[in-house]
């Protein structure tokens, strides 16, 4: 801050000082300040017996970011056996435009015949827009 003043000898002088301000903030575990911004919204100065009385209103903005750990796949083995016990026994799906029973069966590990039987559809019927129950084909 720079203050320009007229002294008792009639001369003009200026004085510059760096002002500091603090705003304590508590950060949680694994958090850090990614951005700190200070904005002086109001400033006033008046002469006093000791020199100048300067008052500032400073708004602080603090952007806090938290570090998290995201689990990810570390490796995949080709030809790894699929555990059928982890598959759902039935899946509810709304058929999209142009989807066939065969394509749905392939995607959800079922067959066109099982899907048609479960939903009362004729062979080759286009299921577009229908909500279907798709049973999982269990191979022994």
Q: For residue 52, what are the domain limits?
A: 30-67
The reply to whether 92 and 129 lie within a common domain is yes
Q: What is the mean pLDDT of the chain?
A: 86
Domain membership flag for residue 45:
yes
d(CA 33, CA 36): 7
- The CATH number given to whatever domain includes residue 131 is 3.10.350.10
Total number of domains in the chain: 2
Domain membership flag for residue 4:
no
d(CA 137, CA 105): 9
- Among 107, 103, 114, CA closest to 137: 114
Domain membership flag for residue 55:
yes
Give me the long-range contacts of 67-73 (CB less than 8 A, separation at least 24): 67/30, 67/31, 67/32, 68/30
The reply to whether 93 and 124 lie within a common domain is yes
Q: Name the band, by pLDDT with cuts 50, 70 and 90, for residue 109.
A: confident
d(CA 18, CA 7): 22
Domain membership flag for residue 3:
no
Domain membership flag for residue 17:
no
The reply to whether 56 and 94 lie within a common domain is no
Q: What is the pLDDT of residues 21-52, one digit of tens each?
A: 888 889 999 999 999 998 988 888 888 888 78
Averaging pLDDT over each range in 50-54, 91-95, 119-123, which range is the top one?
A: 91-95
Domain membership flag for residue 2:
no
- How many beta carbons lie within 10 A of that of residue 64, not counting itself? 14
- Among 93, 23, 31, CA closest to 60: 23
What's the confidence (pLDDT) of residue 92? 92
Structure tokens at 4: 């320009």
What's the confidence (pLDDT) of residue 90? 86
The reply to whether 130 and 93 lie within a common domain is yes
The reply to whether 131 and 95 lie within a common domain is yes
Domain membership flag for residue 40:
yes
Domain membership flag for residue 114:
yes
The reply to whether 92 and 125 lie within a common domain is yes
């Amino acid at each position: 801050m720079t203050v320009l003043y007229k002294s008792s000898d009639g001369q003009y002088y200026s004085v510059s000082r760096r002002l500091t301000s603090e705003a304590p903030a508590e950060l949680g575990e694994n958090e850090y300040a990614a951005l700190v911004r200070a904005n002086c919204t109001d400033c006033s100065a008046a002469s006093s017996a000791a020199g100048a009385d300067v008052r500032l209103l400073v708004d602080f903005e603090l952007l806090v970011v938290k570090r998290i750990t995201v689990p990810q796949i570390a490796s995949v083995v080709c030809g790894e056996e699929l555990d059928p016990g982890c598959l759902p026994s039935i899946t509810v799906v709304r058929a999209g435009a142009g989807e066939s029973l065969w394509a749905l069966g392939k995607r959800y590990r079922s067959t066109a015949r099982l899907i048609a039987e479960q939903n009362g559809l004729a062979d080759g019927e286009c299921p577009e827009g229908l909500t279907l129950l798709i049973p999982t084909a269990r191979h022994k």
